Structure 1
Amino acid sequence: MRTVRATTRPEDRLRMLSDSLTALHNRIFAPDSTGKSVSHRLPSDSCGTEAARLLLPMTFYDDIAGRAFTPGKTLTFADEQLLNIYMNNPWLVTGAESDIREAGTPVYNAEAPLRPKTDLVEKAGPEFVEPEAGPFTLVLKKPNFWTYKGDFAMQFMQNYISGNWYKGGESNYSALSNMTLEANFNNKQKIKWDNKLEIRFGMQNTRSDTLHTFKTTEDMYRLTSKFGLQAHNSWYYTVQLIAYSQFTHSYKSNSPTLYSDFLAPLNLNLSLGMDYNADLFRHRLKGTVHLAPFAYNMKYTRKLSLCDRLGMDPDHHFKNDFGSEFTVNLTWQIMDMLQWKMRLYGYTSYERAELEWENTFTLRFNKWISAQVFIYPRFDDGVKRDDHHGYWQFKEYLSVGFQYTF
């Protein structure tokens, strides 16, 4: 039987234990010859893997006591140190090997290294193979900065009154059509070019008019073109052209006097100023405000007989003057079914003045049917003064009919 020699001095035993633990740590965690850590592999020298027990919580191992009392068995350095602790400092031992076995954790060496049952590579999916790029065609589209929109409306009205109706009156038929076409350019940088063509034409038939089968109630076509260069945010330096006339002749009931005709007159206004683009009330109120301190106005008539009535010099087809001009165009979507379009135009040559305020209220019942109220006051002191209204003129109508927006 081997006799374990106990060191007489405690400090020597403590030093030896410390040296053995340091040596064991260096063996386990020191890198190998390739520079890679071998911390995953315990040493297999004379100390054996039992040396790792010195780094674990102090436990009483049965095999150490068995080797100590078995003839012919050699104790390792780790066995001697643990056996020394068992004999001289038993209070340091916190557990037994049987407790570890009951917990299911073996403390002895495995005869063969433990390996996972399935290699992770076998569970991984197949490597993704990127498909070869086939022939393709690259298409580059030039951006289109043009937008187009329009609006068309047609209203009819028929009124029949018998000859013996107790309040009197007369039967009549009337029709009214409106069309607006727009083509606008905006490169989203500095340049804008807006073009709008407005056409209104209406006719009426009354039995009391013995001279004319039909008379026009509305007759106008107007082109507005504006070219703008951005100055700052919503402000643009703008050149604006407005040209308008009518399609056919106009008469009063039972009167042979011609009041206006095609290109009689033709009005043209060219102005230079600034535009402000308005967008308010969450995009419900949109439009432009044009202020022009420099404006040229031309009035032309192809019928010289209308010169006096149009405020032009006798026997002159043209009248030219210079002044200032402003134009306000706004569209307010008051409700989903109710819309208000307003145009306010003013021009002055500092000798005469023109002011027009067009208001169109549209109530849409559905996509196809709508009602319109048109209110149009106008001031012009360049024509002959009326004894009753002075220089003021007024026009209004109410219509119901077909309307389509595109």
Structure 2
Amino acid sequence: MNRMEAHKLYENSVKILKKNQHENGGFYASPPGTRYPFIYPRDHSIAILGAISAELMDQARLGLEFILSAQKPLGEFSQRYDIDGNDASYKDLQIDGTGLVLYTLGKYFEATGGSFFEEMADRDFVLKYWSTIRNAVEFILMNKNEEVDLIHTINSIHEYPAYEHGFEIYANSACCAGILSAVEMGKAIGADDNELDRWKNEAEKVKNAILTRMYSPRRRSFIKCIRVKDKNSKPIAYDAFASSVIDVDAAEYAPAYFELISNHDMKTQATVKRIHRHLWDDEIGGLNRYPEHWNRNNGGYGPWCHFTCELANHFIENNDQELAEKYLGWVVDMAHDYQMPEHISTIQRFELWVEDYTNAEILRDSKIKMIEQTRNHPKWQDGLAYITIPLIWPHAEYIRAYNNYMSKFE
């Protein structure tokens, strides 16, 4: 890995993070004039985690203020918002966003001192938003199925109900980690012990269900999703959707990503080996998010910088410098002018996707604009399709991975 280029990409990633935070506090998913000029709780939360890693604590706090103030009456957070915090959703609820907000708030509180350095910790901030935290936890638990102790969702990280409607691993991991973060913050501010005990008990049930029901010993891997149409199905065996999604997916790293299980654990190690074996792109390099045959490859099938950064962290944690540099070095090499796209494809794959969506008449205006921008990008002349550049999410994940790499190996 080119250390100098890696550092330049880090510095520019920090600049991009700061530049794309609106004065109201919201982090754009991609800059105005590109495909995603909105605030998505998922992307926004990861941007805050990047800010925390870069020690941009004022920006992190402002970002949290924006999203916590945008909570809906039942306790959830919308699929996306405009810069004023108004609901701008066009897709169904994605409960992982609610879990991510709690998890990110917990990371902010931990970074300010948490329960270990009370004179430093931003306890007043947690106290200010405690009712918001409580409502978010209760909303998550309202969507928990008591038969299997898992949380139901319609959409998750890929926004693809066909493979995510039911008990999906990323959504469950995010929500479980979010509740556990709320418990720790509650302890630090002296919240009601009975309530905290109930939350912890429910979160531990979810964690145990993730580590047992969502792990396949024969495949030696976590699985993507247990399909269930109705969150209240009892018994779920007779639910209309009842089935399992066992295809390899980068999201199956979620239990370790959200610290529910160690990166050194056999289940994590085996899952990552499976992800690497099946999703590393042999033609371009980098990590794809799921199999090509899912055929939902907006902009053409190809690797994603932020998923590649996530797996780099696994290898960093396991002292595997060779694979850590393979993953992180690929991100550095593929950055254009020290900016990263949503994902990268070949022209052949890109045009195949355009043909499929054109023939099916499912090209929205935003996708038509994306096609034009991709073909006009300088990397097109190199035979590559760079989709939506810059996307803020991969810059935030790169900041976290780079800092972890430097702490471990430098």
Shorter-chain TM range is: under 0.3
Higher share in helix: 2
The structure having more radius of gyration, on CA atoms, is: 1
Higher share in strand: 1
Considering Cα pairs closer than 8 Å and 6+ residues apart, tell me whether 1 or 2 has the greater RCO: 2
Give the alignment's TM-score, normalised by structure 1. Answer: 0.20
Give the alignment's TM-score, normalised by structure 2. Answer: 0.20
